[in-house]
Amino acid sequence: MPNLETAVFGGGCFWCLEAVFQRLPGVKSVESGYMGSRVENPTYKQVCAGSTGHAEVVRVSFDPSRISYRDLLDVFFAIHDPTTLNRQGNDVGTQYRSVIFYDSDEQRREAEQVIAELTAAREFSAPIVTAVGPAGTFYVAEDYHQNYFNENSEQPYCRFIIAPKLEKFRKAFAEKLKA
């Protein structure tokens, strides 16, 4: 059994992030959930109402001998807009904020370095607003949120929001997906 590491990202709806990260070689599991507040055991309804302070996030378990944390960061910044505060497309509210929750000082340094590199290279037309903070308690989202795209690919949100994002991802990361 490989030594797995964990990464936690928030960048809009967790269904979108989950669908992409599940397709990366070296990723062993992706769970949708909530993080970023002291409110214990939040429900989807509470988080969507914006009353908890939690963000919708994914917890990615990965094998660092097959995929690096840096690779995960590169994918994260490619699949969402890190320049919009508390918003991704039509999803608006603090629960949809762009955020990286780190598990170690090494992850924090790497996340901050990637943001600095993207900023210096002017990869985006507006400033990056992605927050970087220590991981807190991860609350697993309700069962019906897990593996959402794979089980509901014909739903309108999946067809019109997630599927195009997956196609963009496949094109941008074709070489990495062959690994």
Residues with active-site annotation:
13
- DSSP of 22-77: TTSTTEEEEEEEEESSS-SS--HHHHHTT-S--EEEEEEEE-TTTS-HHHHHHHHH
Query: What is the distance of C-alpha 137 from the center of its chain?
Result: 16
Return d(Cα 118, Cα 155) in angstroms, integer.
Answer: 34
User: Whose CA is closest to 139, among 29, 33, 18, 4?
Assistant: 33
Tracing tokens 């941008």 back to the chain, one arrives at: 172
